[in-house]
Amino acid sequence: MENTGVIEQNDPWSNDLNESDLNDTPNEISPTLIYENDSELSVLGSSYRVPDILKKHIEPIVLDTSLSYGGDILLETISSNVTEDVITLEFQCSDGTLVTQLIDFKNEVQIIKALVLGEEERGQNQYQVLCFVNHFFKVDFISSDAMSKLRQKNPGTVRVAEEDKGHVNYTMDLFLDVSESKDISKHIASLCGEAAGSAYTRNEDIKQWIQRPGSSELSLMTAVYNFSTNSLTQQGTNDSRSLFVTRCADTSNMWAPCTCSLELCIGWYPCGLKFCKGKGDGKKAATPYKCGIKTCKKCFIFSYYSKMKQNCLWDE
């Protein structure tokens, strides 16, 4: 059951993101990204390519949301593709990190991609791309269909999430072979194409996906390999042990492998629906109806194997 909240019809609650018509034909929201922060104006134009679908009866809509994040004002873009049953959320942090979160409801997959700008004066590349792929519970986000029907009355409003879900720790213990990942989600290859050697998942997530109807344990396991073997696992189970490495923060050797930690926070996202209580006629009880959304904030701390500390300079 989706996260829901019930409010009185005359409640002073005000949310200018509301469902316009629950019986409308589903819409596709196509994102156009423009990001800026409050202290130093920096504009980045980009776009996310969603799979081609028939658009004869689908009206493209952009949902841009401004939110307060650590004293900065960020512009976040949320898109929904009902045909693919996918929601995509994108924003740029004040340090330049470009974050993309894709929710694949059909396959119960969450993909978080981080394009992290490098410190060229310290010998890093211009940027690096990291992808973290995990099992996702559908109740943690509103459906793509409900998302497609949201409309904004005041796009310039700076939003603050109603509920802070705190921090969640993910210890990523497997490399993910992006080229072999279609049985997990077909969206991994297109979103994480630049993260061929830096895409990660967990044994725990594989166990969840194996339970999906029609999933094959063998095909899922061929998409992952262990840190210590650095080769594809062709068997139904992964018996090899992860190579223990020290934390990047605890080593001074810039070229040594280590365990890196990266914190990424989704400062505002629609995590459930709200229902208003209609007025009864005295004989019948009031019938609740959908009238808006509940919003949340959630932070992820990803711990993963880095081939060298040089690629993890923020974790010092």
Cα–Cα distance between 185 and 143 in angstroms, integer? 18
Q: Is a pLDDT exceeding 90 seen at residue 292?
A: no
Our measurement of the distance from residue 19's CA atom to the centroid of its chain's CA atoms, rounded to an integer in Å, reads 22
Q: Hunting for tokens 């497997």 — which residue is that? A: 174
Q: Is a pLDDT exceeding 70 seen at residue 162?
A: yes
Contacts of 118 (CB under 8 A, 6+ apart): 124, 125, 126, 127, 128
Query: 9-50, pLDDT tens digit by residue?
Result: 333 333 455 544 443 433 333 333 222 333 222 223 333 333
pTM of the model: 0.75
- Residues 257-284, mean pLDDT to the nearest whole number: 86
Q: Is a pLDDT exceeding 60 seen at residue 56?
A: no
**Position 171 confidence tier, pLDDT thresholds 50, 70, 90:** very high
**Position 65 confidence tier, pLDDT thresholds 50, 70, 90:** low
Query: 116-152, pLDDT tens digit by residue?
Result: 998 888 888 889 999 999 999 988 888 998 888 877 7
Hey, is 134 helix, strand or coil?
strand
Which of 21-35, 39-53, 66-80, 251-265 shows the lowest mean pLDDT across its residues? 39-53
Q: Hunting for tokens 């980045």 — which residue is that? A: 44
Mean pLDDT of the chain: 76
CB 90 within 8 A of CB 77: yes
If you write DSSP's letter for every residue of 90-122 in order, what string do you get?
Answer: EEE-TTS-EEEEEEETTTTEEEEEEEEEP-GGG
Contacts of 37 (CB under 8 A, 6+ apart): 72, 73, 74, 94
Q: Is a pLDDT exceeding 60 seen at residue 302?
A: yes
Domain borders along the chain are 61-161+172-229
Q: How far apart are the first and last CA of the chain?
A: 42
Cα–Cα distance between 227 and 258 in angstroms, integer? 11
Cα–Cα distance between 225 and 219 in angstroms, integer? 12
